[in-house]
Amino acid sequence: MELKEGRYSIQGLDIIDLVSQYGTPLYIYDSAIIKRQLDRLNAAFKVKKLGIHYACKALNNINILRLINQWGAGLDTVSVQEIWTGLKAGFSPDKILYTPNCVGTDEIEMAINLGVQVNIDHIETLEYIGHHHPDTPLCIRINPHVMAGGNEKISVGHIDSKFGISIYQMPLVERLVKTLGLRINGIHMHTGSDILDPGVFTLAADILFDIARKFPDLEFIDFGSGLKVPYKDDDVCTDVEELGAILSDKFNQFCKDYGRDLSLYFEPGKFLVSECGFFVVKTNVIKQTPSTVFAGVDSGMNHLIRPMFYGSYHHIFNLSSPAGKPRVYNIVGYICETDTFATNRVVNEIHPGDLLCFKNAGAYCFSMSSNYNSRFRPCEVLIHEGKHYLIRQRETIDDLLKNQVELAL
């Protein structure tokens, strides 16, 4: 987003003009930022075969998926519904990874029948597939028990985590693979979001390589994600260029030892789409209490839950007042819960009617939205090659009622 002569714009399109056309609350995505991030990843890893698979739970609009498919990346899915969306967006099944957790065998069956790469994180499921689909190549999700991640809720590699098969259970996995004649074509880990330190990856890489040597039929090793992007101006974030250099060297050396060139996979969600998103809301009220000045906006935890759910920071600025006097606010939603977006936040003086913009609104924002308080979900607008497109309509009362079965009471 650019600020020129008091007006904010994306790819040359004035944001306030877009708001006049589409209304608030409004999600806006800048496709050029997704492309930039994808190009960065592709350039960072110097290996023979690289597979970037976009973790679409971060932002699942089908048009975003279409672009990512056109740009050559694959897809990482966690549900059969995400697989269906991915197929509809044009991904071929062999570019889709399916990494479910705690799903039933009926859903695993569907994924196998759709021809996508299944990634297993439960020993009994491994046995089930061994008995029913012994020819299906499988990837194993390992929990390396490397403690990493931005906070407890998004750190999934620790000992109490429900994700993955523990490295301590590898002897059992090996026994099952041999006995049932399974073909293990991939090894996977995903230690959690927000990994700042390339050292965490290289430590986990060594663990994965050790395990990989035990499986002779591998085609890929998948390092999951956890690549962090800046949320604040001075934020530390994953240096993917440094990570790429270190990990590529290690990976190439491993392939030499292994005797074959494998593919190196990553599954970024946040890294690709976090920064592309801008969420615009309108200030309804400025409400002063004895202790606090609240800015109450026409949105809430129903549209962007990360601050309440994870304690996440989203930078918020006053689109209507680029040169205003800075003041301190608690920025809150209109939901009948304590839905606080930001506490003690310095924002240029806010008046009722002012438009506020949230940054980093691409990942885990719309995709986590709900209809709580019977509110409509916002519309989504894509800015692509200098033009704007409505890619999801704002909901209406019909959307809220359409699956309700009205009885003649």
Ligand X SMILES: *Cc1c(COP(=O)(O)O)cnc(C)c1O
Cβ proximity to ligand X: between 89 and 272 the closer is: 272
CB of 350 to ligand X, least distance (A): 31
Q: Please, which residues bridge with residue 96 across strands?
A: 75
Contacting residues for 253 by C-beta, under 8 A, at least 6 apart = none
CB of 224 to ligand X, least distance (A): 5
Q: Which helix (H) or strand (E) holds 118?
A: strand 117-120
- CA–CA separation, 356 vs 348, rounded Å? 10
54-83 residues in contact with ligand X (CB under 6 A) are 55, 57-58, 76, 78
Residues binding ligand X: number (CB under 6 A): 18
Cβ proximity of 346 and 328 under 8 Å: yes
Cβ proximity of 326 and 346 under 8 Å: yes
128-187 residues in contact with ligand X (CB under 6 A) are none
Judged by CB under 6 A, does residue 271 bind ligand X?
Answer: yes
Judged by CB under 6 A, does residue 268 bind ligand X?
Answer: yes
Judged by CB under 6 A, does residue 99 bind ligand X?
Answer: yes
Judged by CB under 6 A, does residue 114 bind ligand X?
Answer: no
Residue 291, both tokens? 């202790």
Contacting residues for 333 by C-beta, under 8 A, at least 6 apart = 296, 297, 299, 300, 301, 302, 303, 339, 340, 341
Cβ proximity to ligand X: between 224 and 296 the closer is: 224
Annotated active-site residue in 336, 357, 365, 379:
336
CB of 290 to ligand X, least distance (A): 40
- Show the binding pattern over residues 222-251: x = contacts ligand X (CB under 6 A), - = does not: --xxxx------------------------
- CA–CA separation, 269 vs 251, rounded Å? 22
Judged by CB under 6 A, does residue 121 bind ligand X?
Answer: no
Q: Which helix (H) or strand (E) holds 3?
A: strand 2-4
Active site annotation includes 336: yes
Judged by CB under 6 A, does residue 377 bind ligand X?
Answer: no
- CA–CA separation, 52 vs 225, rounded Å? 10
Using Cβ positions, the residue closest to ligand X within the complex turns out to be 269
- Give the binding site for ligand X (CB under 6 A): 55, 57-58, 76, 78, 99, 190, 193, 224-227, 267-271, 363
- Residues recognised as catalytic: 336
